[in-house]
Structures are given as C-alpha cells and as structure tokens.
Amino acid sequence: MTIRPPARSQFQEPYKNSTIICRVTNLCSQTATFTWLKDGAPVTSGVTTHSPVSSGPTGYTHISQLSIMEKDWDADRKYSCKVESTNFSDMINTSKSFECGAIDCLSDIEVKVIPPTFADIYIRKSAILTCRVINMQSTEGLNVTWRREDGKELKTSLGERKMQSSGRFSVDATASVCADEWERGDSYTCKVDHPDLIFPIEKTLTKQPVTNSHAPSIYIFPPPSEQLALREAATVTCLVKGFNPPDLFIKWLSNGEELNASKYINTEPIQESSQPPLYFAYSTLNINEQEWNAGNTYTCLVGHEKLPLQVTQRTVDKSTGKPTLVNVSLVLSDTANTCY
C-alpha cells in the first residue's frame, strides 16, 4: 500500500488544487473500501475511486484519489487513506511536513526520451534510444520497455539508479536499433510503469526532420607564440562553425593515434545565427611545450551528418604552423553492431 503526496506543480493551476493518490496492489479481492480522513475526520467530497485493475495471477490493484486545496496542504493538514478488504486492513498518512520537511514538495515522476547522438550512429553504426525516468522516491517496481511501431518489444536495459540533488532517483532505460532504421524515420515508444503512477506513461521518439541543414567549416590554430614563450604548456584549438543540426562530435589525434577524451575540452554547440539557424563549437587540446616542439602532428577530427563523408579533419604541426586537409580513415569501435 502506498500514498503519493500532491504534486506542487498542480497547485500552480487556476483552481489551486492537487491530488493525493492512494494505491493498493495484489489484493485478492475485487472489492475494497477506501476511507479518506483529514486530521482524523472523514472526507467525502473530492474523492474519486477507480475500478479495480487485474494485476495478473497475484490479484488486483485498487486506486483512490483525493483532491485537496493548496491552503490546506500548506497548513500541514494530515491526510489519511484507510483501506479495508477481505483479509486486509491498513491505513497510511501523509502531510506536508512528513513528505517535504522544510522544503517544497517535489514534482511527479517525469519521463524524457533522448534521441541517439551522431557519434553513436557513425562510430557504432547503431542508434541508442534513451528513456529517462526522474523524480522517483524509489526505483522498486519500476518497469520500462521500448517497442517498435508494430508493437514488437525491443531489448531494454535499465541503468544504475542515480540520486538527484533533490534526494529522489533517476534511471536511464536504453535500447539499440539499426542506424538506418532510425535515419528513415521509424518511431519508437517508451512505456514506463511504476507503483506511484496511476497509469503508465508513454513517450514516442522519432528522428525530427531538419530544415536549412548545413555542413560545418573547420579551422585549426597552432599554439600562440606568447604561450610557447613561457615554455610551459601549448594549446591547439579547433573551431567548428556554420553547421546545422547542432549534433556533432570532435576528437583529437596525435601522430595519427586517437587521444583520450580527458586530454581535450569540447564546448557544447552554440547558436551563432537564427536565420538560418547555424551553430558553432570549439575544442582545445592542451599539451606541453616539449611535445609541440618535438614536431608531433595534431589532428582535429569532426563528424557531422552533412559532411560529404560525414567526417573530416584538419592537421597542424610545428614545421608548417598551418592547417592541412588530410584524408580520413577512422577505425570503427570494436563494439559496432551489425544490423540485418
């Protein structure tokens, strides 16, 4: 038996009311009696009790909800839900001070669907669909499934739960599909069920068409002479601009070998114009001055869906001090998926 306090966001609506939800699962009987109390006194108005729903061979789920006013919740009234059924009797309480302490109550459970990144699509040749469930008091009883347009379920993996700054939890549920299926505009639906939800939440994800798409221009800059004169560090900079959509990846290579991502810093895409919508980003690679003076070559590799080969690169070294365009040969990840 669980009770869910009112969502603070609902109090922002014109009527200043929200809903407390009382839920009992796995009752053997289809019949159950709900009694709502406010500070110990019975409440009859604002009560909605739903018909029982079969929860499989284990029994039935019963749900009742009570609409309350914001002023009563803020006054710290105690609300009680009492349930009586065959071989079952229990009561559970909630109030603002009990649920929230000294802070405002938190939001309802929310679900966000996150599209795959271009890096995943290009390097792994697969599209990772992400369904993020946030604001959970507990992950117990959480069930998430991804399915195709035809209703066929995809293999769905639940990640480790993460604690939010609010003290509640979030979980990512992912599924993988072929890159060409994603690119052609197939739709995928994430369904989330949780004991704190009256009904499951469903969100659909599909690739959104992009108008005014544009390939990026790439510029690479050697370390400034003023920095090299200090004989301490050297910063190679890669500027990527004039692209749309904003999703892209930037990697660095030294003498043709890919560098660990901890060696450089990439900015998020930043909008530089709205008509047409264009973005820019830059990446800085920090090396020591001796590495630069040794004549090592440094390559900025950029991937974007509108590039002719979807990837290009610029290379610079001490001897030239000028960027050069080099043919691309990027080794795909060993974990690349093959789709049939």
Percentage of the chain exceeding pLDDT 90: 62
Res. 178 pLDDT band, cuts 50 70 90: very high
What's the pLDDT tens digit per position in 39-62?
999 998 999 999 998 877 778 899
What's the pLDDT tens digit per position in 126-169?
999 999 999 998 888 899 999 999 999 999 999 999 988 877 89
Q: How far apart are CA 221 and CA 283, in angstroms?
A: 11
The helix/strand/coil state of 225 is helix
The confidence score (pLDDT) of residue 38 equals: 94
131 C-beta neighbours (distance < 10 Å), count: 26
Q: Is residue 80 pLDDT above 70, yes or no?
A: yes
Asked whether the bond before 276 is cis by omega within 30 degrees of 0, the reply is yes
Identity of the amino acid at 128:
I
CA angle 69–75–81, rounded 5-degree value? 65
CATH 2.60.40.10 fits 217-325, yes or no: yes
CATH classification (class only), 2-100: mainly beta
Flag the least confident range among 60-64, 105-109, 230-234, 267-271: 105-109
User: Matching CATH topology for 2-100 and 217-325?
Assistant: yes
Please tell me the pTM assigned to this model. 0.65
Q: Is residue 31 pLDDT above 70, yes or no?
A: yes
The confidence score (pLDDT) of residue 17 equals: 87
Identity of the amino acid at 29:
S
Q: Is residue 336 pLDDT above 50, yes or no?
A: no
> CA–CA distance from 127 to each of 115, 122, 131, 151, 180 (Å)?
8, 9, 13, 18, 9
Mean pLDDT across 181-188? 94
Mean pLDDT across 300-320? 93
The confidence score (pLDDT) of residue 87 equals: 86
The confidence score (pLDDT) of residue 100 equals: 64
The helix/strand/coil state of 58 is helix
Q: Is residue 71 pLDDT above 80, yes or no?
A: yes
- Candidates 3.90.1150.10, 2.60.40.10, 3.50.50.60, 3.40.50.2300; CATH matching 110-205: 2.60.40.10
Boundaries of every domain in the chain:
2-100, 110-205, 217-325
CA angle 60–61–65, rounded 5-degree value? 150
The confidence score (pLDDT) of residue 261 equals: 94
Task: Please provide the distance, in angstroms rounded to a whole number, between the alpha carbons at the two ends of the chain.
Answer: 46
Pairing of strands 32-38, 79-85: antiparallel
The confidence score (pLDDT) of residue 339 equals: 62
The helix/strand/coil state of 254 is strand
The confidence score (pLDDT) of residue 322 equals: 56
Write down how long the chain is. Answer: 340
More confident residue, 44 or 221: 221
The confidence score (pLDDT) of residue 321 equals: 66
* CA nearest to 234, candidates 177, 285, 180: 285
Residue 109 has which token pair?
Answer: 């459970």
The confidence score (pLDDT) of residue 294 equals: 92
The helix/strand/coil state of 157 is strand
DSSP state letters, 97-154? HHHHTTSPPPPPPEEEEEPPPHHIIIIISEEEEEEEEEEES--TT-EEEEEETTSPEE
The confidence score (pLDDT) of residue 166 equals: 76
145 C-beta neighbours (distance < 10 Å), count: 18
Q: Which residue has the tokens 């047409």?
A: 276
Residue 216 has which token pair?
Answer: 């990026």
Q: Is residue 121 pLDDT above 60, yes or no?
A: yes
Q: Is residue 98 pLDDT above 50, yes or no?
A: yes
